[in-house]
Amino acid sequence: MDIDGRVVLATTPVEGAPSQLVVLADGRVVVTLRDSNRVAVLEPASAPERKLALLCEARTPSEPIGLFVAPNESTLFVTSGWGRALTAFASDTLEPRYAVPLPREPRAVYVEPSGRRAFVSHAIGDEISIVDLEDPLHSRRSVDLRRHNGENSSRHTGQGFVLTALVGTNPEHVTRLLAPMVSVDQDAGSVSTETYGSRFLAAAPLVAVVDTTSEALLGRNHFVSGQFRETVCTLPRAAALAGERLLLACLGIDAVLELEARARDPMRFERRRYRVPAGPMGVAAEPGRERAVVWSQFAAAVSVLDLRESAKATPAAEIIVSKDLPPGLGAVEARGRILFHATNDPRISGDGRACASCHIDGREDGITWQTPEGRHQTIMLAGRMNEGAPFGWRGETTTLRHHVGRTMKRLAGRGVFGEADSADLDALIAYLKVMPAPVRVEPDETRRALVTRGRELFADPRQGCATCHPGGGTDRAAYDVARSPYRIPFDTPSLRFVGGTAPYFHDGRYATLGDLLRGVDGTMGHTGSLSDEELRALEAYLEDL
């Protein structure tokens, strides 16, 4: 795009859904392709009106998202969300150098100027990973984000899609990382016996400030609760620093917040906000100019923000990049995508939460929520919505329309039962059925053999797994698997994508699949007689479902 001329100069098709991109000093463009598990390097043509040319590409662990180029541009770092890894590539050849396993759902990556450490945010899980890049084993430490909330708090911190570094007087020495996130209270439901949503702020946004020297949060006991306000940013998706201002792009409210980056919690020190087209998911500040550029995914538009103090808080320019809908989305599904990410819609919840607040990227948040029926964890939606009724942990609803409406009511939303809302409910459900599921990488020979063995064990009547989970799916029946005194039957959930949805069981009592397989012997199949090797095979099969 020619930002000054406000025109699209050229469009380069790529083999997958682009997630993040970086422009190298020589003009090459690196892009992660989320649904094709690849990272690609594109070369600019001689004239800006011509398409970029594919220079090289490389395979990555499942779902490449975050991208960072080491300060000397010798190494590219890629996070893989579903593949739970940080992979380093040579930036000139894309030759893989090493991969570091990470906890669930890594998103953004930042490598400090010295190249010694990489910091990785996570969409769920109360932590920021720190990978020691000088250590031959690339050991991992973490910053515990629970400190924001006090040690005994029922709050969890997630939605970590972004990391930015605040550069002080010495640009070689980054002392603070800013991590926009959201703190949620898993016990929010306890304030009401009827709902697990309320007017109290179950989801409170914050910017975690990480002291990179001590590898701890700068300060503690941040005040994260408060009452719901319609303007809070509960779906932060992109950020950039413009001097001492943090520009934060927020889904749901479709705004870019200009925050005071030097504040204790910049989220609580808003200087200004810009309204931008729907779905802001990228923001870049232009060095040396009081200007920023914002990418709005849902509107397929680019906005130019004037950052001068005297400027208005409306974009100086808006450029529609494409009027075509993305592949796989019709107009109805596209409307559903906006609704899925809509915060502050009183039909959906009473405290401003969006569907995407708990179903992050259409998945789940790893949190076991307090509900009127006891502790239940969020269920993954993406890739599972076509398996049919019943719905809910108790199998309490028989249609998706009913279940979605019921969930909204339980979140203290008004619901979507009126005729006027019918089209929106249809759109939301249409999107639920097509929302992108993780795309797994092909396993190697060793892994394939292990999965095959696991499949045999799964199907073996002696284990009995396939009795209720035929083919890894569901028999649509309910069983008293918890063996509680109240004999409560729980709906058999589908096991699709179960490998990436820890913790396990309706109440999240098992941290890993291995714990689950060892813990449910006799109540959910029979795994007690399996050897460790067989359990590992069974686990591998489940991870592959």
Partner 1 sequence: MMKPSLVFPALALAISLDLAATSAQAEEPYRFQELRLAEIPSVEAEPDVVWKDQHYDEKGKPRPLPDIERSRLAADWSGLPRPRWTNEKGHAAVVRIRNLYHPDDHQANQWLRYLQSDDTSPIAMACGPDTGEPRGVDTYLLEASRPEGPRYTVLEAWLDGRTCKGLALRRYQAAVKPLAGGLAYAYRTSCARCSAAESATLHVVIPSGFSSSATGGFRYWTYLMEHLELPLGPGTSGSLQAFVEGASIRAWNHVVPKPLPIVNVAELRIETSFAVGEDEPTIVLAIRGLNIPLS
**Contacts to partner 1 by CB under 8 A:** 168-169, 173, 175-176, 209, 211-214, 216, 218-219, 221, 223, 225-227, 260, 262-265, 268-269, 271-272, 309
Least distance from partner 1 to the Cβ atom of residue 169, Å: 7
Q: Which is nearer to partner 1, 167 or 439 (CB)?
A: 167
Cα end-to-end span (Å), the chain: 41
Shortest separation between residue 142's beta carbon and partner 1, angstroms: 18
Q: Which is nearer to partner 1, 216 or 449 (CB)?
A: 216
At its nearest, how many Å lie between partner 1 and the CB of residue 219? 3
Q: Closest CB to partner 1 among 155 and 347?
A: 155
Q: What is the Cα–Cα distance from 248 to 255, expressed in whole angstroms?
A: 8
Distance (Å, rounded) from C-alpha 62 to C-alpha 85? 9
Q: How far apart are CA 439 and CA 64, in angstroms?
A: 10
Distance CA 189, CA 410 (A): 9
Instruction: Write down the least CB distance from residue 212 to partner 1, Å.
Output: 7
> Shortest Cβ distance from residue 211 to partner 1 (Å)?
4
Of 141 and 173, the one with the shorter C-beta distance to partner 1 is 173
The secondary structure of 475-496, three-state, reads: CCCEECCCCCCCCCCEECCCCC
What is the spatial distance between Cα 280 and Cα 273, in angstroms, rounded to a whole number?
A: 13
Closer of 216 and 325 to partner 1 (Cβ): 216
Min CB(258)–partner 1 separation in Å: 10
Nearest to 207 by CA among 286, 268, 133, 128: 268
Question: Given the complex with partner 1, which of 167 and 389 has the nearer CB atom?
Answer: 167
Q: Which of 510, 505, 497 is nearest to 544 (CA)?
A: 497
DSSP output for 374-438: EEEEPPP-TTTTTS-S-BSTT--BSSHHHHHHHHHHHTT---S-SGGGHHHHHHHHHHHHHSPPP
Does a cis peptide bond (omega within 30 degrees of 0) precede residue 503? yes
Q: Using CB atoms within 10 Å of the CB of residue 481, give its burial: 0 to 12 exposed, 13 to 18 middle, 19+ buried.
A: middle
Least distance from C-beta 446 to partner 1, angstroms?
44
What would the two tokens of residue 104 be? 């669930």
Q: Which residue has the tokens 């090459």?
A: 28
Q: Nearer Cβ to partner 1, position 20 or 212?
A: 212
